[in-house]
Amino acid sequence: MTEPLTIALNRGRILDEFLPLLAASGIEPDEPMAGSRRLIFDSKCGRARLVVMRGADVPTYVAYGAADIGVTGKDTLLEYGGAGFYERMDLGIARCRIVSAAPIGAVLPSGRLRIATKFVNVAKRYYAEQGRQVEVIRLSGAMEIAPLMGLADLIVDIVDTGNTLRANGLEALDTIAHISTRVIINRASLKMRFAEIEALLDNLRTVVDDSAGPGGER
């Protein structure tokens, strides 16, 4: 019997929005994921095994072949860089932006900028392209307080509605990247299990296209 495809899933909002698309494609977990402490789920159809993890770990599991397929945000892929997988599909879910933000009305220094972010590689690349000298300070959360506490001039972070920025007296400056959820495939898996993987991608494309409606927007 053929081994099931292993699919690494980004927990949280991406998981919540992706599971209905996956179910419509014919793959459902063998028990409800919501509220479960399990991290690995068999599928009812037997064709896939679903593994739930932090988004930042999804590219690593796929690149090293521990998972055949991964589902995570474009922000994670931009930060990870790397090789070992193909980015094959934009699911168009969990949309947001990576932006720079600073206190409302702040006058930024003309010289070296101090930037607080968890997207260290994204920030370095972006400001190098702008020709700006920056010092990037890695933080893991609550970016909004960094400028308010004098730790940084501005932040680079994910925003959806922008409400958290406004609530903390910050405003978005530049949009660095538009983000949505992507499907990545291990390079070796695509060669060895091409038909299975392409069939799943075709099913997902049909579901995504149907859910987008006539206007092409979800």
Q: What is the CATH number of the domain that holds 81?
A: 3.40.190.10
Question: Would residue 218 count as lying in a domain?
Answer: no
127 within domain boundaries: yes
CA distances from 90 to 75, 108, 206, 210, 215 (A): 13, 35, 13, 14, 17
Q: Are residues 82 and 16 in the same domain?
A: yes
Same domain, 87 and 150: no
Note whether 32 and 138 are same-domain residues.
no
Question: Within this chain, do residues 90 and 22 fall inside the same structural domain, yes or no?
Answer: yes
Structure confidence by residue, pLDDT tens digits, 38-55: 999 999 999 999 999 999
Q: Is residue 16 located within the same domain as residue 77?
A: yes
Question: Does 45 map to a domain?
Answer: yes
Same domain, 34 and 87: yes
At 35 the pLDDT is 83
Q: Is residue 203 part of a domain?
A: yes
pTM over 0.75: yes
> Are 151 and 191 contained in the same domain?
no
Which 8-state DSSP code applies to residue 133? -
15 assigned to some structural domain: yes
- Does 217 map to a domain? no
The pLDDT value given to residue 213: 64
- The ranges of the chain with pLDDT < 50 are none
Alpha-carbon gap, residue 158 to 143, rounded angstroms: 10
Give residue 37's domain range: 5-94+180-212
From the list 95, 133, 134, 94, the residue with the least C-alpha distance to 114 is 134
Residue with tokens 């796929």: 62
Whether residue 136 lies inside any domain: the answer is yes
Exposed e or buried b per residue across 203-216, where buried means at least 16 C-beta atoms within 10 angstroms of its C-beta: bbeebbeeeeeeee
Quote the CA–CA distance of 98 and 101 in Å, as a whole number.
10
Residues 61 and 25 in one domain: yes
pLDDT value of position 11: 93
